[in-house]
Structure 1
Amino acid sequence: MDALQKLLFPRANVRGETVVLGDALEQAVVNQNLPVAARRLAGEMAAAALLTAGALQFDGTVALQIEGDGPVRRALAEVRPGYAFRVMVELAAGTDPAKLDPNAKLKDLVNVSGRGRCAFILDRAHRPADEAPYQGVVALEGDTLAQALENYFRHSEQVDTKLVLAADDKTAGGVFLQKMPAEGGKLPADYDPEGWQRLTMFAGTVKSAELLTLSPEDINRRLFWEESPLVTHEAAPHFACTCSKARFDDLVRSLGREEVDAIIREKGALDVACRFCGAKAHYDAIDAAALFTPGVQTQKA
């Protein structure tokens, strides 16, 4: 099951979302050969990025990245319009996947020294080449990814957010609540000042097993049936990678002719692979020469 449902709680002036990932998450990580702990992190990252993208309604790519000095050096999830997503987890050099504790926490995975970073990158559609994507970066603080992202929104965006995430090695799910700004500086006439506290309390009661086995509709019904939320949107998140032969060519060109030729002389060929989906491209000496010859295109992948 891969589904997302967006809610609105008008009297509390709160928006909410619930997401559940199954087959799409498996497609996203199947070629990365990740140990269980890293697959769980990938699931939480994908769920969190989808929930954030849904709340922002941003016309472009929303990326969530965390990095640090643990066995996991970096994790990145990207969401594009239409809830197309991809996610990757990069292990640090020298990490033995077989020795990674399946139940390792965020600090043990990423933030061993406490110097980890958390970032959201917003890259709008049709962005001019001379315009940089927006990037918000804060310290990676919290015992869980959900806590770290709540801290991000509190410190970077100054908005109260409640996030609950769960993942195993096959599925992931999450519940997201966020206060909305008062429209025109005014709250609804029937505004419920206790609504936020009550909703976050309800969200905090959700069990991991529910997030990993139930549909968003069933989860929301169990959590918020007393609040009569409005369902504002439903979607089906899906895995889709943006890699292509043209992007591989650009990557190889960026190394420069001298370095590419040196690699091919030493190894016989240059092989590149997408960290997200595992797609590969192979360049021999003829391919490399064509890359650096104006007007000539390579054909092999």
Structure 2
Amino acid sequence: MKDYLVKALAYDGNIRAYAVRTTETVREAQRRHQTWRTASAALGRTMTAGVMMGAMLKGDDKLTIKIDGGGPLGPILVDSNAKGEVRGYVTHPEVDFESNENGKLDVRRAVGTDGLLSVVKDVGLRDFFSGQVPIVSGELGEDFTYYFATSEQVPSSVGVGVLVNPDDSILAAGGFIFQLMPGIEDEIISKMEERLKTIEPVSKLIERGLTPEDILEELFGKENVKILETMPVGFQCSCSKERFADAIVGLGTKEINDMIVEDGQAEAHCHFCNEKYLFTKEELEELKKEAK
């Protein structure tokens, strides 16, 4: 099954909901960055939340999430957009711990709880929208829930999960976000509070083969869900050799000449996708001409 996202309404428009399967997306991130199990879970949860948050945008809008909780993982960075494209990396991919007291990957210990979750949105205006909140859990689902409630003043619930095999490969990944609309009845809120106490972890639902539509039906009941739209999602990086070439030109002739004299070549590395681009001496000479 390919990864995709579903946008929906529940309870006659009183709840806005998103659900997504990101197994292949997180699998690609793990392959590119060779993340160990706990690092994979933290990066995968962040990417899953990021792709759903991107789906809330429009057109060419995009956003960047940074999570820096002071833990051994270091900062996690994720970019996403309104087209279902997401990319991300963790500063220290070789992080793993024994399972926590609940028998689960100890994401909290890896992420840390002394720092901030930051979101910067580029919606095509001169100024970016930015919001940040303290990390309250380190498990990330609760942290994104707190972000929506505090920074965007939208009561929300965020569930994100990643199951990782003993050999570090990704077994299942996905998530949901639902948000309460103004004027929602207390009875519906109480129903959802009770449902969140009993529903299986979202990664388990994905592992059982449930689709994003099925996850929403598990949350709200089939009769209460109205599907609005589905869209494919996947790992996609915007880097290219041409972009790096433009950046090298921007350094100016002196810097480019230093590269030619000292190394005879240059290598550019994209942190987001781990691709490397080699520029030969001849290519650098051409870029130096452009810089003039």
Counterpart amino acid of 1:278? Answer: N
User: Is the CA contact (8 Å cut-off) linking 1:166 and 1:173 kept in structure 2?
Assistant: yes
How many residues are treated as equivalent by the alignment? Answer: 277
1:36-51 to 2 correspondences below 5 Å:
36-51=37-52
Cα–Cα, structure 1 residues 227 and 59, in superposed 2: closer, same or farther, change >3 Å? Answer: farther
CA distance in structure 2 between the partners assigned to 1:88 and 1:36 by the alignment = 14
CA distance in structure 2 between the partners assigned to 1:30 and 1:165 by the alignment = 20
Q: TM-score, normalised by structure 1?
A: 0.81
User: Is the CA contact (8 Å cut-off) linking 2:20 and 2:48 kept in structure 1?
Assistant: yes
Give the CA deviation at 1:60: 0.8
User: Is the CA contact (8 Å cut-off) linking 2:253 and 2:291 kept in structure 1?
Assistant: no
1:92-171 to 2 correspondences below 5 Å:
97=94, 100-101=96-97, 103=99, 105-111=106-112, 114=114, 116-124=115-123, 127=124, 131-169=126-164, 170=170, 171=172
Q: TM-score, normalised by structure 2?
A: 0.83
The yes-or-no answer on 1:30 pairing with 2:31 is yes
CA distance in structure 1 between the partners assigned to 2:116 and 2:251 by the alignment = 28
CA distance in structure 1 between the partners assigned to 2:26 and 2:230 by the alignment = 18
**Structure 2 portions without partners, runs of 5+:** 100-104, 165-169
1:177-188 to 2 correspondences below 5 Å:
177-180=178-181, 182=182, 187=183
1:206 aligns to what? 200
Question: Bigger shift: 228-237 or 8-17?
Answer: 8-17
CA distance in structure 2 between the partners assigned to 1:58 and 1:152 by the alignment = 23
Task: List per-residue Cα deviations over 1:226-285 (Å, max 9, x = no partner).
Answer: 652211112221222101112212333455544454455444432112222232211233
Give the CA deviation at 1:72: 1.6
CA distance in structure 2 between the partners assigned to 1:88 and 1:198 by the alignment = 37
2:175 aligns to what? 174
CA distance in structure 1 between the partners assigned to 2:16 and 2:236 by the alignment = 27
Counterpart amino acid of 2:205? Answer: E
The yes-or-no answer on 1:194 pairing with 2:190 is no
Cα–Cα, structure 1 residues 281 and 37, in superposed 2: closer, same or farther, change >3 Å? Answer: same
2:85 aligns to what? 84
User: Is the CA contact (8 Å cut-off) linking 1:177 and 1:200 kept in structure 2?
Assistant: no
1:251 aligns to what? 247
SS in 1 for 2:149: helix
CA distance in structure 2 between the partners assigned to 1:175 and 1:200 by the alignment = 15
CA distance in structure 2 between the partners assigned to 1:85 and 1:173 by the alignment = 13
Give the CA deviation at 1:148: 0.9
Cα–Cα, structure 1 residues 201 and 289, in superposed 2: closer, same or farther, change >3 Å? Answer: farther
User: Is the CA contact (8 Å cut-off) linking 1:142 and 1:151 kept in structure 2?
Assistant: no
Question: Pairwise CA RMSD of aligned residues?
Answer: 2.7
Task: List per-residue Cα deviations over 1:141-186 (Å, max 9, x = no partner).
Answer: 2241011111111211122111111102313111211112x4xxxx
SS in 1 for 2:62: strand
User: Is the CA contact (8 Å cut-off) linking 1:107 and 1:143 kept in structure 2?
Assistant: yes
CA distance in structure 1 between the partners assigned to 2:30 and 2:257 by the alignment = 32
